[in-house]
Structure 1
Amino acid sequence: MFKVKATVVAMLGDIEKYPCHFNYKIGDEIIWTGAEFKGRICPGVFMALAPKVIGLYSAGPRYVEANYYVPFWYAPPSVYDPSMKKYDGIGFRNVLHSIEDLQYGMSLLRPANSFNWPPHPERTVSKDNVVVCGDARTSVVLKLEAFDLADDGDCVTYFRRTMSILNKVLHKPGVAVDKIINEFTKEEIEGIYPALSQILVGILVEELELMEYLKIQNMKATVTDKGAKKLEDFKKSLTAEERKALKMQTK
């Protein structure tokens, strides 16, 4: 599971005429820790924010919405032309140039890089997770991203297991991913919640790789510099009793 950050990145409306009444500013952040939100959440974005937060919390940077897969975004602008029905089945004629957005116009609400001609060369439309507030006059835009492993609420147990995996790999760089579980004793595997299994280790390793704490190459794992720092910070957050129980000593 992952921590999620929502950052105010734009205001598409005329904020001189229609200021944000929640007083959001570019750069303002909302953080989901896995157990609570930190930061001010406008009611106008909360309902749209929640499902995206859950998606990113669960899937991390793998999460994209269904709209990402729609080919429609990469078609050019068009005009209705009944004479073309015999070709396309409905009757549209291509407009083979991009249409410039009007300042503060509704077309600014379309996803970035959509309906351009020539089309954007990479499949990026709706890849970013964004929320636009319901007040179309101001249209505050928040961009969401999974930025770290969740370590709060009921994520704590899984986070500790993930750090234990990181610790094992640190002491055996290049270990095969499917052999990581063999680095744990039977008591470490079955005596601590959640009990480890090949499938669970695989899921947690994937999360570590997504956050760039592990590097997987040829199905072998090594800890990155970023991962080593994360592990050391985790160790320092533990009590002496916890470090002894988890067999983790600080430098």
Structure 2
Amino acid sequence: MPFKVRCRLIGFMNDAAKFPCHFDYEIGEEFTYDGETIEGRICPGVLLTMVPAVWQTFFSGKRAYERIIFRYSGLSAKDPAMKQYDGIGFRPLKEAPPGSGEKSGIVVSPEIPTTRRGGTGFACADCRTSAYFLVETVDIASGGYTLPYYRRAMAILEKVKEEPGLTVEGVLQKFSDWEREEIYPPLGPVNVQLMLEDLEEVNYVELRDGKAYPGGSPG
């Protein structure tokens, strides 16, 4: 189900001191989209790269990107001697190249992740500065046509709070036939499972062994 999405500036890929951002963005600045409204400042220079990342995250959350294998490979350097092993001639780097500073770690770090990493990012189209934004899910979307889905998700959350440890079937049984079938969207095992997974992504619930328990706060 749709998510509220936050885009947060985490760094400049190039030299912002020599080529200052003409939009005067500062690290930490952010904007959000909830399915209807954008809150925050958006430079025209990020529109081209922003929209695909926000669209995908809005509909699929961080899981849309967690299977991109390159994100788990760390940094690398060209090394023709390694071609006999990898086929193209690269070797892993244990640390960032000298002189790269913090910029090399904005998108990927030398460390090999031990857990899956979801989410994505985008950089502005001005290659002199390249402001880089992290795209994150921070809540369930409630704007525009997402409101019925938000209300359904919140109703499911209330059932889980009332009786921790509910399975998908247990959640469905907490609603009457009329509540399940006559309120849009109608509830079934597939969309209830998806709603529980999405509620877990933004920390409303925790799923353990097919059972849902109340979580913390969204974000």
TM class, shorter-chain normalised? 0.7 to 0.9
1:62, distance to aligned residue in structure 2 (A): 1.6
**Partner of residue 6, structure 1:** 7
Paired position in structure 2 for 1:100: 98
Q: What residue ranges of structure 1 are gaps of 5+ in the alignment?
A: 228-251
Change (3 A) 1:65 1:182: closer
SS state of the match for residue 148, structure 1?
strand
Provide Cα deviations, 1:187-245, integer angstroms capped at 9, x if missing partner.
11112111111111111111112222112223222223538xxxxxxxxxxxxxxxxxx
Counterpart of 1:122 (choices 113, 121, 136) is: 113
Matched, 1:70 2:91: no
Instruction: Report percent identity of matched pairs.
Output: 30
CA distance in 2, matches of 1:175, 1:69: 34
Letter in 1 for 2:108: A
RMSD: 3.2
TM-superposed CA distance for 1:89, in Å, is 8.4
Contact kept, 8 Å, 2:72 with 2:112, in 1: the verdict is no
Residue 108 of structure 2 is aligned to residue 112 of structure 1: yes
- Kindly provide the CA deviation profile for residues 150-188 of structure 1, in whole angstroms up to 9, marking residues without a partner as x: 011111000001111112222222222322101111111
Q: Which blocks of at least 5 consecutive residues in structure 2 are unaligned?
A: none
TM-score, normalised relative to structure 1: 0.73
TM-score computed with the length of structure 2 as normaliser: 0.83
Larger Rg: 1
**Matched length:** 217
Task: Find the aligned partners of 1:216 and 1:95 in 2 and give their Cα distance.
Answer: 36
Cα distance change, pair 111–34 in 1 and its aligned pair in 2 (3 A):
same
Q: Which has the higher contact order (CA 8 A, sep 6+)?
A: 2
Query: Aligned equivalents of 2:46 and 2:132: distance in 1?
Result: 9
Alignment of 1:181 onto 2:172: yes
C-alpha distance in 2 between matches for 1:191 and 1:197: 12
